[in-house]
Amino acid sequence: MSCVVITGSARGFGFCQAKKFKELGYNVVISDINESNLEKALLELNNINGNNTKAISVLCNVTKKDDLEKLYFKAKEEFGGVEIWINNAGVNSPDKPVYEITEKEVEFIISVDLLGTIYGSQVAFKHMLEQGYGKIYNVEGYGSNDAMMMGLTMYGTSKRAVTYFTRSLAKESNELSGGKVNVCRLAPGIMITDFITHANGDKTKIELPEKTKKIYNILGDYPETIVDYVVPKMIKNNKNDKQIIWLTNRRAFTRFLTFGFKKRDFFKEK
Ligand SMILES: NC(=O)c1ccc[n+]([C@@H]2O[C@H](COP(=O)([O-])OP(=O)(O)OC[C@H]3O[C@@H](n4cnc5c(N)ncnc54)[C@H](O)[C@@H]3O)[C@@H](O)[C@H]2O)c1
């Protein structure tokens, strides 16, 4: 039995996906740059015993291709192969105009959000091609559909490029594997995680303006809700170049129509 590998999965959406895959009977490899969160996450995962499956954790910085190679080999050594590989690790931009973003900040965002996804896809694709099967899911985000907004330009630039890269790699997969390696996109919408209030690898706090909070209260969801919908679809999918979307136009429209009756407040003091 092979496994699912998820980058940046010590917390947030990645960790919620890991829990859902484990519940549904998958062996899971979680990985992250944050060692203490990774240890805590593994303890929690081991309490979920979907069909006697197993979880392991591997420290991995997605900006280092060598770390990603080691992650793949650890998963293969433990579980014999990788069925699903999810490039999920990501960081937010500091909420300021581009001209104020430092060189270091630009490099940091691009290296985690874009290069991390490219390196992770290269590693997974190469080995899946040898293996003869597999699915890669790259996580999209604000900007993937060309949306633009002050404060999210650098993040959106990376995610727009992630979308192009993933679709183009899917095309390569058609030629190289007859589409047996599925290269796909996962669009989770707006998630209420630490991500929305932190930038620069958690070093900078983002104060969300009231109007942003209002939009998040209408369109956002906890990742636990989103994985219940997307993970079964990721498992079932066997088409190359598939996009799995949570916040469809129809869902967003319904949220705006009904928000007067279904008030939610993710930001109220606990
Ligand atoms: N939260 C949202 O509203 C939202 C919306 C759309 C897409 N996304 C995307 O979903 C993914 C997960 O976001 P989240 O909300 O769970 O964020 P999060 O900040 O809660 O989790 C991200 C995880 O990635 C890890 N990470 C950061 N840099 C890393 C690196 N170099 N190597 C390995 N791991 C690293 C962090 O330690 C953290 O555990 C990201 O790709 C993000 O861009 C988030």
For a pocket test of ligand 1, which of 6, 13, 44, 140 has the largest count of ligand atoms closer than 8 A to its C-beta? 13
* 152, part of any domain: yes
Structural domain contains residue 164: yes
Q: What CATH number corresponds to the domain at position 188?
A: 3.40.50.720
Residue 109: Cβ within 10 Å count: 24
For residue 51, the model assigns a pLDDT of 77
State if residue 195 touches ligand 1 by the CB under 6 angstroms criterion: yes
Asked if residue 141 lies in contact with residue 92, where contact means CB atoms within 8 angstroms, the answer is no
Bridge-based pairing of strands 220-221 and 134-139 is unpaired
Give the distance (Å) from ligand 1 centre to CA of residue 202: 11
- Write out the E strands in 93-251: 134-139, 181-187, 190-191, 198-199, 204-205, 220-221, 243-245
| H/E segment holding residue 4 | strand 3-6
Would residue 232 count as lying in a domain? yes
Print the domain residue range for 96: 3-258
> Is residue 267 included in any domain, yes or no?
no
Ligand 1 centroid from CA 250, angstroms:
26
Question: Confidence band (pLDDT; 50, 70, 90) for 270?
Answer: low
Closest-CA residue to 112 (of 149, 72, 162, 150)? 162
Other beta carbons less than 10 A from residue 226's beta carbon: 22
| Number of domains forming the structure of the chain | 1
Residue range 219-260, pLDDT digits in tens: 999 999 999 999 999 999 999 999 999 999 999 999 999 988
Question: pLDDT for 150-205, tens place per residue?
Answer: 999 999 999 999 999 999 999 999 999 998 999 999 999 999 999 999 998 999 99
CA 186 to chain centre: 7
Residue 213 CA to ligand 1 centre (angstroms): 19
